[in-house]
Structure 1
Amino acid sequence: MSPFHGIHTIDTGFHRPQFDAAYLVVENGRGAFIDSGTSHSVPALLAAVADAGLNPADIDWLILTHVHLDHAGGAGALLQHLPNARVVLHRRGAPHMIDPAKLIAGATAVYGEEEVTRSYGRIVPIPAERVDIADEGHVVDLAGRALLCLDTPGHAAHHISIWDEKSRTVFSGDTFGISYRELDSENGLFIFPTTTPVQFDPPTLKDSIRRLIALQPDGICLTHYGRIGDVERHATTLIEQIDAMVERALACADAPDRHAALVAALDDLYIPRAAAHSGQSSEQVRELLHMDIELNAQGLGVWLDRQQRRAARPSS
């Protein structure tokens, strides 16, 4: 695929083709990565540098949208090959990349130790002296091209999105949901929110989506997967689906096996719609989406627990 305004989409190879993207933005012979994929992704990212006509020393920046391992697990390993690059990320995420012990423990709690090792490889710490904190409005200067960092929580409290005015493109990480190319059809693309553990917050996520749309972008680069257009329509769909997921989660709150009820509710919400949209069978779609449904159910469960704790606090 030809780069768009110097934006190269890189398939990191995580799980399956066209599942997980990192991006390389090139301007005047200098480069910035946005997200890194896993430690297993490093060869693909370095190949993308060469394909863009650059050397590793030409990469000035590695910007992390957030520190979930499919986005940032390979950052430390990649940085070992980029002698001049600095890492830009949210201040809440920075400590976990400098010392990733808690990050690894959290992922192990969700996926299990064997799966973390298989999927993500070795998580290499990032030297603190190579970290820049991206507070709201922080601008990354890529050879005169401004990449504006925006605080966009809701999927994660440590999430930033990046606005590239030159291409009128937002790099949204997971804030603007998930859209797999396998579900594309003559009906367009199928998009849905991601509520993975542990910091899903519905009102905040909807606010972040609205904030991105207020920029009037021509396109949004998703980690899962690729650059999409028609963004206002998809924003409306995402907000409607967040509300639908919350409604179903609340209905499952007192179920004897709450997690199983959440999985069934999300299955009922997404599988028929995705099958009708894509023209694929329910079985094919369920095979594609089963991990997302499982993780989204876990995230909704964590959110329900948080709501119940708040409700149980004595009023002042």
Structure 2
Amino acid sequence: MTHAHGIHTIDTAFQRAHFDAAYLIVENGRAAFIDCGTNHSVPAMLAALADAGLTPADVDWLILTHVHLDHAGGAGLLMQQLPNARLVVHPRGAPHMIDPSKLIAGATAVYGEDEMARSYGTIQAVPAERVTIADDGHVVDLAGRALLCIDTPGHARHHLCVWDTRSRSWFTGDTFGLSYRELDTAHGAYAFPTTSPVQFEPEPLKASIARMLSFGPEAMFPTHYDRVTNVARLAASLVEQIDAMAAIVRATPPGDGRHEALKIALEALYLPRIRAHGVTLDDAAVLDVIGMDIELNAQGLAVWADRTPA
């Protein structure tokens, strides 16, 4: 999908259609990617360039919001195709792009070798000399168009978001939650937080949302999935849900049954809000859209609760 101001949405085809986006920004014949999906997404990234009338040599930057594999797993392989590009990444994420062994080991422990190969392929390293570390306030110059990177912890400590003054929009990775187009109604988009393991922190996440809101954005571009407006309404809803999710896990005792209890409680949190938003899909269809996220949110909440003093 093509938006105003030279912004293109790329469906990386991870898991299902309209689930995982990367973005292409074009300015005066030069290009920057924001996030890139997995190794399996590289053909779609290159096709988006061609559709925009560009070649791989026209790409100056690949900016990662964070190094979770659905956002960054294909970075090393994609960079091999982009002769003039540099990788821009949070200071905490850079070591994992230069030497992805720990990233691979951690993901393999969760998913197993077969699932890693199916979903992500073989993760490739990015040469250190091609990596630019984006501290808070770092500005990427795309042919004179400034892309501001700010530190946005809460979903992950290695997360940054990208402000584009031209479009008055943030590229938010996972900091501004998840918003699937299947749940759009006449009221607009619905969004809910993502607390996937292992670095969810509610207060920093709320602070990151407030900081982005202070810029007066007209739109947000989350990785999951595509452009949303009505930013102030969505931000208020996200903050309310973050507090509710934190309260749920605090009230759920640890033990063998905690994970299932958290999933049930999260369904009970989201479904009434989705119904109130005007979504007419039946519960099974809604859960087909958000079920994987409920699973990951339950895991992430439990990890946060276990490391947080009572």
TM category (shorter chain) comes to over 0.9
- 1:255, CA displacement in angstroms? 5.3
Distance 2:4 2:141 in 1: 19
1:166 corresponding residue in structure 2: 166
Partner of 1:32: 32
The alignment covers a number of residue pairs equal to: 309
**Which amino acid in 2 is paired with 1:87?**
L
Q: What's the counterpart of residue 287 of structure 1?
A: 288
Distance 1:137 1:100 in 2: 26
Moved over 3 A (4+): none
User: Comparing 179-188 with 77-86, which one deviates more in the overlay?
Assistant: 179-188
Aligned-pair identity in percent equals: 65
CA distance in 2, matches of 1:86, 1:118: 27
The equivalent of 1:297 in structure 2 is 298
Contact 1:275–1:281 at 8 Å: present in 2 too?
no
In structure 2, stretches of 5+ residues that fail to align are: none
The runs of 5 or more residues in structure 1 that have no matched partner are 312-316
Q: Do the aligned partners of 1:136 and 1:149 also contact (CA within 8 Å) in 2?
A: yes
- Give the Cα separation in 2 of the matches to 1:57 and 1:165: 25
- Distance in 2 of aligned mates of 1:153 and 1:255: 28
Residue 217 of structure 2 aligns to which amino acid in structure 1?
Answer: P
Q: CA deviation at 1:273?
A: 2.9
What are the within-5 Å matches in structure 2 for residues 204-223 of structure 1? 204-223=204-223
| 1:72-91 equivalent positions in 2, closer than 5 A | 72-91=72-91
* Partner of residue 314, structure 1: none
Does structure 2 conserve the Cα–Cα contact (< 8 Å) formed by 1:20 and 1:225? yes
- Residue 55 of structure 2 is matched in structure 1 by 55
Separation in 2, partners of 1:254, 1:40: 38
| SS of corresponding position for 1:226 | coil
Counterpart-to-counterpart distance in 1, 2:254 and 2:126: 43
- The letter of the residue matching 1:299 is G
Report the Cα offset of residue 6 of structure 1. Answer: 0.5
Distance 2:106 2:155 in 1: 16
For residues 155-185 of structure 1, give each alpha carbon's deviation from its aligned partner in whole angstroms, at most 9, with x where no partner exists. 0000000001011010000000000001112
Q: Which amino acid in 2 is paired with 1:173?
A: G
- Residue identity in the other structure for 2:27: E
Answering whether residue 135 of structure 2 is matched by residue 135 of structure 1, we say yes
What's the offset of the Cα at 1:256? Answer: 4.7
In the alignment, is the contact (CA less than 8 A) between 1:275 and 1:282 conserved in 2? no
Q: Aligned AA for 1:103?
A: L
Q: Is the 8 A contact 2:188 2:230 kept in 1?
A: no
Give the Cα–Cα distance (whole angstroms) in 1 for the partners of residues 297 and 113 of structure 2.
20
SS in 2 for 1:278: coil
Structure 2 Cα separation of the partners of residues 111 and 296 of structure 1: 16
Residue 113 of structure 1, CA deviation: 2.5
Contact map agreement 1:150 1:161 (CA 8 A) in 2 = yes
> Residue 15 of structure 2 corresponds to which residue in structure 1?
15
Determine helix, strand or coil for the equivalent of 1:234.
helix
C-alpha distance in structure 2 between counterparts of 1:58 and 1:108, whole Å: 34
Shift of 1:54: 0.8
SS in 1 for 2:153: coil
Which whole-Å CA distance do the structure 1 matches of 2:256 and 2:34 have between them? 42
CA contact (8 A) 1:275 1:285 kept: no
Query: How far 1:52 sits from its partner (Å)?
Result: 0.8
Cα deviation, residue 112, structure 1: 2.8
Deviation at 1:267, TM superposition (A): 1.4
Asked whether the equivalents of residues 38 and 69 of structure 1 are also in contact (C-alpha less than 8 Å), the reply is: yes
Contact 1:191 1:234 in 2 (8 A): yes
Provide the TM-score with structure 2 as the length reference: 0.97
- Counterpart residue number, 1:278: 279
CA contact (8 A) 2:2 2:9 kept: no
* Distance in structure 1 (CA, Å) of the matches to 2:256 and 2:55: 57
Q: Quick check: 1:59–1:85 contact (8 Å CA) kept in 2?
A: yes
The 2-side partners of 1:263 and 1:109 are apart by 22
